[in-house]
Amino acid sequence: MNDAKNVTGSCLCGVVKFNVKKFTRPVTACHCQQCRKISGNFVAATRSKNTELEMISDETLSWYRSSEEAERGFFRVCGGNLFWREIGSDATSIMAGPLDGPTGLVTSAHIYDEDAGDYYELNDDFPRFLQGD
């Protein structure tokens, strides 16, 4: 994986802004039902330690507790889907779409592929896992 440094990102309207100092893994595509419903299709997300994720402007960032274990960060005005994290975790999954390129990242795996919609096909050779981090 390219060890990208200082990649910025934002929500659609640009009010929530952040900077990722270091990614801990490549992009994985999550096809679980929650990711499908919140993103409109499937989620493509990378990850970083919380200490490497610097919020430049987050007063308007909202967190939605989407399950017992996790919450999702978004901006309630433009609807930008930005983050996912386990409660109490020291790391955050970061949606790849809101990142300002070039990111140096690659997609490397699918998770929850059995929950994928029936209107698209996964016709690549990336590994498939039941769940990821």
Q: Give the residues lining the site for Zn ion (CB under 5 A).
A: 30, 32, 35
Nearer to Zn ion, 69 or 100 (CB): 69
Residue 86: helix, strand or coil by DSSP? strand
Nearer to Zn ion, 54 or 71 (CB): 71
Neighbours of 62 (CB within 10 A): 14
What is the largest distance, in Å, between two alpha-carbon atoms of the chain? Answer: 40
Does the CA dihedral 115-86-29-58 come out positive or negative?
A: positive
Strand partners, 92: 48
Q: How far is the CB of 100 from Zn ion (least distance, A)?
A: 23
Nearer to Zn ion, 35 or 99 (CB): 35
Q: How far is the CB of 111 from Zn ion (least distance, A)?
A: 7
Nearer to Zn ion, 18 or 110 (CB): 110
The tokens describing 64, both together, are 């939605």
One-letter amino acid at 43 equals: V
One-letter amino acid at 49 equals: K
